[in-house]
Amino acid sequence: MDETIINETITLLQELIRNECVNPPGNELRSIKTIEEFLKKKGVKCEVYESAPNRGNLIAKIKGTKKSPSLMFGPSHVDVVPVEKPDEWIVSPFSGEIKDGYIWGRGAFDMLFIVAAQCQAFAMLHNEKFKPKGDLVLAIVADEEAGGNFGCKWMIDNHPEEMKIENAVSEFGGFEISENKLILPY
Ligand SMILES: [Zn+2]
């Protein structure tokens, strides 16, 4: 793969780690804005839905060419759980430091590396003029680690049309959505 693409994805991941979207309180709008900016630079349009002050969710879409089942990259969350024992960390948890060939940070694994990869993959498909049969949706959300009231749940209650999909790929792999409702595997 193109080295620029890899480096951009690493930089995005580091920014997401450094945004410290620890939930509570979340403050996910920081990372949502980082992603909005990343997509904007690549010419990808998206919508940001603010669910509360400093909290938000992002949707981008590539319309399908036919009436076929849709696929969501997500719902993927940008919030992270608190750092309970900072003394036990070998690097600062919000540094996004690269050490021994690994990117370190709270949330690097759950699930910011997936968020960064999905945003990059979505932008690449968009710019390759990929024409899916069904809609391809990128959904980045707040508040997965503390109930979802400002993230997924809020989106389903307030913007159900954006969340109606048939298939999804998120932190637990791929899954099918039954009866056109978003059923989370957690
Ligand atoms: Zn997670």
Tens digits of per-residue pLDDT, 65-76? 998 999 999 999
Does some domain include residue 149? yes
CB 71 within 8 A of CB 134: yes
- The Cα 140–Cα 35 span in angstroms is 9
Catalytic residue of the set 15, 28, 36, 144: 144
Res. 175: pLDDT tops 80: no
Confirm whether 87 is domain-assigned.
no
Closest listed residue to residue 156, CA positions, set 76, 79, 77, 75: 75
Q: Strands 55-62 and 47-52, how do they pair?
A: antiparallel
pLDDT in tens, 125-151: 999 999 999 999 999 999 999 998 999
Catalytic residue among 15, 79, 135, 145: 79
Number of domains present in the structure of the chain:
1
Whether 144 is a known active-site residue: answer yes
pTM of the model: 0.93
| Residue 50: inside a domain | yes
CATH number at residue 23: 3.40.630.10
98 domain-assigned: no
Q: What is the pLDDT of residue 174?
A: 77
Q: Is 145 a catalytic residue?
A: no
Q: Please say whether the beta carbons of 78 and 16 come within 8 A.
A: yes
* Rounded CA separation 168/177 (Å): 7
9-57 pLDDT per residue, tens: 999 999 999 999 999 999 999 999 999 999 999 999 999 999 999 999 9
Cα(127) to centroid of ligand 1, in Å? Answer: 28
Per-residue pLDDT at 172: 82
Q: Distance (Å, rounded) from C-alpha 58 to C-alpha 138?
A: 8
Question: Within a domain: residue 43?
Answer: yes
Does residue 34 sit within a domain?
yes
* pLDDT for the residue 182: 54
Separation of CA 65 and ligand 1 centre (Å): 32
- Amino acid of residue 147: G
Distances (CA, A) of 121 to 59, 73, 76, 118: 14, 9, 14, 5
DSSP string of the chain?
--HHHHHHHHHHHHHHHHT--BTTT--THHHHHHHHHHHHHTT---EEEEEETTEEEEEEEE--SSS---EEEEEEE--B---S-GGG-SS-TTS--EETTEE--TTIIIIIHHHHHHHHHHHHHHHTT---SS-EEEEEES-TTTTSTTTHHHHHHH-HHHH--SEEEETTEEEEPGGG------
At residue 162 the predicted structure's pLDDT band, cuts being 50, 70 and 90, is very high
Q: Distances in Å between the alpha carbon of 118 and those of 6, 60, 93, 106, 123?
A: 12, 11, 23, 19, 8
Question: Does residue 186 belong to any structural domain of this protein?
Answer: no
Output the pLDDT for position 186: 45
CA of 142 to the centre of ligand 1 (A): 11
Q: Has residue 168 been placed in a domain?
A: yes
pLDDT of residue 115: 98
Query: Which range marks the domain in which residue 128 is found?
Result: 3-82+103-178
| 81 CA → ligand 1 middle, Å | 9
Q: How far is the CA of 43 from the centre of ligand 1 (A)?
A: 28
pLDDT, tens digit, 9 for 90 and up, residues 94-122: 999 999 999 999 999 999 999 999 999 99
Going from the Cα of 114 to the center of ligand 1, the distance in angstroms, rounded, reads 10
Distance 143 CA to ligand 1 centre (A): 10
